[in-house]
Amino acid sequence: MSIVDEALTQAIRTIQSTVPRMGRDRPSIGRADGSYERCHASHWVDGFWSGQLWLAYAATNKTFFLDAARQQRPYFIDRLNRTATLDHDMGFLYSLSVVADYIMTGDHIARDLGLQAATILAQRFNPAGKFIRAWNDWDGESEDFRQRKHGKIIIDCMENLALLFWAARETDDPQLSHIATAHATTTAHYIVRADGSTYHTYEFDPTTGTPQGGFTFQGYADKSCWSRGQSWAIHGFAQTYQYTHEPLFLDVAQRTADYAILHLPEDGVAYWDYDLPADEPRYRDSSAAAIMAAGLLLLADNLEERLKADYYRAVALHILHNLTQQYTTAHLPYTEGLLLHGAAYVRKGQTDSMLTWGDYFYLEALMRARGHTRFFW
Ligand code: GLY
């Protein structure tokens, strides 16, 4: 058995043993004892457990996983009605839940829910600036920050665009794919820098669409490069190219990949930011590594240039190999997750833990490495 096969078998075994403990709950951030905190506030991470269950079903065909994934559906229906909790992260939530259900089972209720989610996402489009607004208002923020958020995009949103492309295909509504393509083009021009690195966020005047400048939120500094954001760019632009076949997006996926590869530590598992001064703690972010590995495999599958595709595949396998050997929970007697040493938000002290999105992308990357091509984005 290859290392990837073994790791995939182990991952699915862990997911299976976690199902009865998780019930209708969803994991968020790992605790020191190997368990997961459950999602309480409604935020962007609620879809990743569902995504793992659908992938486990795709890998095994066991109805056990289908049943467990379907137990999550009431949450996603309820959340659609709580519109104040919905921001741009509709793809993270709904591609990995109801769209996955429709792709795997053809269920028409799931399809309708996915289309509703896409419509809600499309309503965030700002035609003056040609972007999808990222965040809503938050409690306790300054008035200045609240105003600026009206014109703010973040690199993470590249992963939400597949929901729009999927819905456009399902309904033959080109407007939805125009919105997704416009947002990706704006992101390519403003968030991606000339050297292939990325800002985490970029701000525009929300009325005129005039560009204002790039900032960070979870990275080290405005001008640095937050590694998870870079991974969102690699995976998200490769995904957008797969839908659109626009050369710009393939070029940006490669430039962002090349920047990240050049700045990786030896084992291929990124530190939380690619531009850390010497005295700054070097926390790993295994989730950035897992997203990057999945993104490089997706990119390789979309490249005609054989040598370049082989190169990206080799880097992805190097990252995955080291994740399987050094970063998994496989050696622990008790765990509810797959991957250790993720950095959710370093400035808030959220470092060195399991992260539900790291687990999801680790599973996606293992399945891509095994040649699986049917995903839910
Ligand atoms: N999308 C939020 C994060 O990557 O932390």
Average pLDDT, integer, range 234-252: 98
- In this predicted model, what pLDDT tens digit does every residue of 46-71 receive, in sequence order? 999 999 999 999 999 999 999 999 99
pTM of the model: 0.98
195 labelled catalytic: no
173 labelled catalytic: no
Q: For the chain, which domains are there?
A: 3-369 (1.50.10.10)
Atom 2 of ligand 1, nearest CA residue: 156
- In this predicted model, what pLDDT tens digit does every residue of 86-108 receive, in sequence order? 999 999 999 999 999 999 999 99
Q: How far is the CA of 19 from the centre of ligand 1 (A)?
A: 24
Structure tokens, 88: 């741009």
- Give the atom of ligand 1 at the shortest distance from the alpha carbon of 154: 1
- Give the atom of ligand 1 at the shortest distance from the alpha carbon of 232: 4
Q: How confident is the model at residue 1 (pLDDT cuts 50, 70, 90)?
A: confident
- Which of 46, 87, 101, 156 does the annotation list as catalytic? 156
Rg (CA), the chain: 19
Smallest CA-to-CA distance from 213 within 255, 153, 157 is with 153
Atom 5 of ligand 1, nearest CA residue: 344
Long-range Cβ pairs for the range 14-19 (8 Å, 24+): 14/329, 14/330, 14/335, 14/336, 14/337, 14/338, 15/52, 15/53, 15/56, 15/65, 15/338, 15/363, 16/56, 16/64, 16/65, 18/336, 18/337, 19/53, 19/64, 19/65, 19/68
* Alpha-carbon span 51 to 34, nearest angstrom: 20
> Tell me, what's the pLDDT at 274?
98
- In this predicted model, what pLDDT tens digit does every residue of 297-312 receive, in sequence order? 999 999 999 999 999 9
* Alpha-carbon span 37 to 31, nearest angstrom: 7
Amino acid at 168: A
Question: Is-contact 199 191, C-beta < 8 A?
Answer: yes
> Tell me, what's the pLDDT at 41?
81
Average pLDDT, integer, range 327-339: 96
Phi, psi of 83 (to 5 degrees): -65, -25
Atom 1 of ligand 1, nearest CA residue: 156
Show the ligand 1 pocket: residues with CB < 6 angstroms: 44, 156, 218, 228
